[in-house]
Structure 1
Amino acid sequence: MRILAVTNLWPEPGSFRGVFVAEQVAGLRRLGHEVDVEVVAQARGTKDYLLAAPRVARRARSGQYDLVHVHYGLTALSARLVGALPTVLSLYGSDVNTPWQARVTKLFDGRPAARVYPSRRLVDAAGDPAGIVVPNGVDFDLFQPPSEQERAAARAALGFGPDDKVLLFGAAPDNPVKQYDLYEDVLEALVAQGVAARELVLPGPGQTRADVVPKFAAADVLLVTSRQGTESGPLVVKEAAAMGLPVVSVDVGDAAEVLAGVTPSAVVPFPARRDDLVADLVWAAAEVLAAGARSDGRSKLGEYSQDAVIARLAAVYESVVG
């Protein structure tokens, strides 16, 4: 098939934003599909959501495409003029959970032939009985459990000693959705309890996709502190589990589904008070660190392999075009 992907989520230079969309596109191309990508907003600014519609329409008309795959609800604004081409719309979190974004999405989504969600929780939040779950996939070839020698080398290269307890923060600290301040509070509380907790941030300037692997290898736990109702994944939870890195996460996106039965790891519900959330995360992180073991996550993640996920998405395309 010939597919036009229209997205506001794309890893432009120096960014990992939307890397899961890029990996999805690469997987489709490996299956023999021709996929072109039109990036909306991002470097052009938010006004491009409104201004991009003629550009997207011209490209859709000239490319002899079988379908258009729109990624993210607000991007539907830019794809509203593609005409009779079948459209698949992927929704990712804020476009469902943030009321004004949900309203804009419903107003301009063009009644797509299929709506795709990365988790059952998001389907339920959208109240969409016809919603199709296709989770974001993990590259099992890239994210492999490290050997003890690889772990030791990664820790030494990043400046960590054998007794350090390294807590990985899986996002850019300046992204308010990820709540780096909550991560800092948990780290500080662990140190106050006598834990030799050390900080490690996953993104970095000029970093390639492969450069993140040693950070997963060096860490003792991934700590996810995202704001309630903002995540569809997060993908970093799957990547950590695939590498055997224990995860302590707030109950966002599909974290609870992914980590079900994975040990050691923990998912912490959101209490009413922030202080209670800090205390619960500190307790869970201390328990996981005390276990001192890698997780069995990889053995539980077969359905999230990139190949399995791409096959499911291709099946959605075939049903739409057929």
Structure 2
Amino acid sequence: MPQTPPQRSGRPLRVLAVTNLWPSDGSYRGIFVQRQVSALRALGHNIDVEVIAQSRGKRDYLTSAPRVRRRVRDGRYDILHVHYGMAAPAARLAGHPCRVLSLYGSDVNSPRQRLLTRLGWGGSKARIYVSGRLAQTAGDTSGHVIANGVDFKLFQPGDRLDARRSLGIPDESKVVLFGADPRRPVKNYKLFHAVVSELRRRDPRVQELILSAPGQPERDLVHKYDAADVLLFTSVRGSEGSPTVVKEATAMGLPVVTVDVGDVAGVLAGVRPGAVVPFWSGPAGGDPPAEFVAALADQVATVLACPDRADGRGRNAWLDERLVAERVVEVYRQVLAS
């Protein structure tokens, strides 16, 4: 829920961010970590980054500890901030006394990843969860809840028709946005496609638009948000912590219809138009029942019938990444004070 950020105070801090999530080769993997690092730097703090695994392969989870330890020894950092639980075991062996661990979703929700996270979080002085639901799942009553922020300067509403023309989309189309790479199973494009197919059966003007594309500039993301009528978010149950695209959509004034994952219910509380649809009561695996597909389609159809923008930008001003970065710095200073 919205919180008043602390006032800036104290000297600039030196921080080493250790993460296995970082954009590379045109991907958006870990873009939320990169944006937080950028926001902290904009506040005047000195942030270095050590990326483990990724291009080095999964073996680096086991072999990266000496490299991280050398950086900690040579860098004289105030804080070692670990982003994502899979990176925690290597950072734990670095021996830094002021370690902060941020947890994002699957590192808590996935049983196998949760085991590695637990192995690594011993000795951390503070844990940050991107949603209250995630902290509850982890059983961590002392964790801080700080959602990832959004660049409100970049993600602000523009002209829908201009955006459509720049993308070659007919003015009269009803555009449903998929906010991820369809090749990622956890994002559940299969469900999205089923809902869009049902919507097309009702109205042939409905078409899909894919947000993700390798190497596209961020300005193209903004155009796609502008061009769309609604974001339909369909991730697998238990897979998300605090989905960035949902928050970006609210900053853009784009209505959102979503399954109930992560912190979407809180982010979209009171935002209209839009809807959060509970998952069906049956098992998470397998094909979704036709009634669930129809329920999502009904909510999307309601939004498509209303041309108005959503009012999420004003309601969620607390998600501005600068305010979020100030809250992260306050956690740093609490750790140093303790």
Which bracket does the TM-score occupy, shorter chain normalised? Answer: over 0.9
Structure 1 residue 250 and structure 2 residue 259: aligned? Answer: yes
Give unpaired runs (5+ residues) of structure 1. none
2:175 is paired with a residue of what secondary structure?
A: strand
1:261 is paired with a residue of what secondary structure?
A: coil
Find the partner of 2:186 among 149, 174, 177.
177
Structure 1 residue 286 and structure 2 residue 301: aligned? Answer: yes
Deviation at residue 110 of structure 1 after TM alignment: 2.7
CA distance in 1 between partners of 2:27 and 2:257 (Å): 25
User: Looking at both structures, which has the greater relative contact order when contacts are Cα pairs under 8 Å and sequence separation is at least 6?
Assistant: 2
**Residue in 2 aligned with 1:103?**
115
Q: Scaled by the length of structure 2, what TM-score is found?
A: 0.92
**Alpha-carbon deviations, 1:67-121, whole Å to 9, x = none?**
1000111101221211143100001111111112112211222320000001111
Q: Scaled by the length of structure 1, what TM-score is found?
A: 0.97
CA distance in 2 between partners of 1:159 and 1:224 (Å): 23
**Residue in 1 aligned with 2:198?**
189
**Residue in 2 aligned with 1:56?**
68
Deviation at residue 206 of structure 1 after TM alignment: 2.3
Find the partner of 1:225 among 234, 252, 255.
234
CA distance in 2 between partners of 1:91 and 1:51 (Å): 22
- Runs of 4+ aligned structure 1 residues displaced above 6 Å come to none
Structure 1 residue 119 and structure 2 residue 131: aligned? Answer: yes
Find the partner of 1:304 among 319, 323, 337.
319
Structure 1 residue 16 and structure 2 residue 16: aligned? Answer: no
Deviation at residue 160 of structure 1 after TM alignment: 1.6
**Residue in 1 aligned with 2:10?**
none
8 Å Cα contact 2:72-2:96 kept in structure 1: no
Give unpaired runs (5+ residues) of structure 2. 1-12, 283-287
8 Å Cα contact 1:143-1:242 kept in structure 2: yes
8 Å Cα contact 1:66-1:85 kept in structure 2: no
Which residue identity lines up with residue 310 of structure 1 in the other structure? A
Count of residue correspondences:
319
CA distance in 1 between partners of 2:80 and 2:26 (Å): 27
Q: What's the RMSD between the two structures over aligned residues?
A: 1.1
**Alpha-carbon deviations, 1:212-260, whole Å to 9, x = none?**
0000000000010000101011010111111110001100111110000
CA distance in 2 between partners of 1:183 and 1:206 (Å): 23
**Residue in 2 aligned with 1:6?**
18
Deviation at residue 292 of structure 1 after TM alignment: 2.0
**Residue in 2 aligned with 1:234?**
243
Find the partner of 2:218 among 209, 222, 225.
209
**Alpha-carbon deviations, 1:145-186, whole Å to 9, x = none?**
11xxx2111111222222211011010111111001111111
Structure 1 residue 47 and structure 2 residue 59: aligned? Answer: yes
Identity of aligned residues (%): 54
CA distance in 1 between partners of 2:188 and 2:182 (Å): 8
CA distance in 1 between partners of 2:204 and 2:18 (Å): 46
1:144 is paired with a residue of what secondary structure?
A: coil
8 Å Cα contact 2:196-2:208 kept in structure 1: yes
Which residue identity lines up with residue 27 of structure 1 in the other structure? A
CA distance in 1 between partners of 2:310 and 2:32 (Å): 23
